[in-house]
Amino acid sequence: MKKILLFALLLMTCFQIQAQIKFEEGYIIKKGNDPMKCWIKNLDWRNNPKEIEYKRDENGTIETGNFNNIKEFGFTNQKVKFISAWIKLDRSSEKIGALTKNPDPVFHEEGQFLRVLVEGAASLYLFEDENAYKFFYSYDGSEIEQLIFKSYLTEGVEVRTNEEYKNQLLKTLKCESITRDMLRKINYRINDLTDIFVKYNTCKNPSAPNTFKQEIVRKQAFHLALRAGLNSTSSSFDSQSKNFGEPYVDFGNKMSFRIGAELEYILPLYGNKWSIILEPSYQSYKSEKVQDGETHSIDYKSFDMPVGVRYYMHLNDNSALFLNGVFSYNIDLGSKLIYTVYKKPTEITIDPVYNFAIGAGYRFQNRYSFELRYNLNRDLTNSENKYKSEYKTVSFILGYRLF
């Protein structure tokens, strides 16, 4: 069963290449040309793209565009778009280990795609890559400039910040509904800056404040599902002392039912691909082994609380492959382990604590799912230093999403 799961994980990882290729209806504006309807490969860019792939029709040939030949592109089904711009970019990192003692930005001229957050009398843009997270702005047809925010170190190795962006906003966003104190409290974050630019545009032109405001379509954030299935469990027990007559006991592989529920929260990241899962469930394992004329038995029952992350590979709007990684805290429910040495049965304290698990599955019609999960070993005798136990499970789980 373990080999089957590892094969499934490998197969799904390879299939991810195909699963992620999703062309969505949109448009591009080439430099010097009018808008052109097309189908764009949507990679749910967290970082600003350097190039895009598109097709002139849904079944057409794939073409490539970049900063040099595309002025703007966006999608029809949601308000997400990028423009190309020649900008002065400070790539200073905000990571503590990369800070310098220079409080001033170090600009380099670059051609980049910028994510459009707000367009209007004043417009707000975002550049993001692995190391930098920078906002840009323009107003009344001006050139696009960076809003300056930079962390730096003092001689005493204290972290301080250059918040020149607040002065830039004070000089630019002048309107009766926006006060100096309001701008002084603005944080260098998407929500804060988006709100103040929308507020300014509304103040300047109440009838049509914004020609564009980014709106990423999010699916329902919380889901509740019923989960049931079969466990294939193997267990063994051994004495650490290795005294004569204390045998190793293999209780063998047993099938049993599992039942539980799953609460899932879809993280607000582009593409709705990541989620956090909580899956309280009940499982049991019962076995008896007669070995060298002596009887050993285990009757294990537990309430498990697996918490973990899930990554989706969307195939279409209604189906997806997924991978799980979970940490499970396990609560014993009156289990019994009898270990017999020289005809003398001893009840061993069962005290499971935690274990880890990995899984792979498929969700379809946004409601039904099945998953194959491999649970790594949990030590059933955690508090008994004299003994060592193994308990491993492969689970086949069916799910039904209630909402």
Express each pLDDT in 222-239 by its tens digit: 999 999 999 999 999 988
Express each pLDDT in 32-47 by its tens digit: 888 999 999 988 787 8
What average pLDDT does the segment 193-200 reach?
95
pTM surpassing 0.85?
no
What is the rounded distance in angstroms from the CA atom of residue 251 to the CA atom of residue 246?
Answer: 15
Helix (H, G, I), strand (E, B) or coil at 167: helix
Sign of torsion over alpha carbons 333, 350, 288, 303:
positive
CA-wise closest residue to 394 among 275, 269, 256, 209 = 256
Q: Please, what is the average pLDDT of the chain? A: 89
Q: Could you tell me the two tokens for 185?
A: 């409290």
Q: Is 378 left (phi over 0), alpha (psi -120 to 50) or beta?
A: beta
Per-residue pLDDT, 32: 82
Express each pLDDT in 115-136 by its tens digit: 999 999 999 999 998 888 899 9
Q: Read off the amino acid at residue 237.
A: F
CA-wise closest residue to 114 among 101, 105, 123, 102 = 123
Burial (Cβ within 10 Å: 0-12, 13-18, ≥19) of residue 157: exposed
Q: Read off the amino acid at residue 233.
A: T
Instruction: List, in order of start, the domains of the chain with CATH numbers.
Output: 78-213 (no CATH), 222-401 (2.40.160)
Per-residue pLDDT, 113: 96
Who contacts 159 (Cβ-Cβ below 8 Å, separation ≥6)?
96, 99, 151, 152, 153
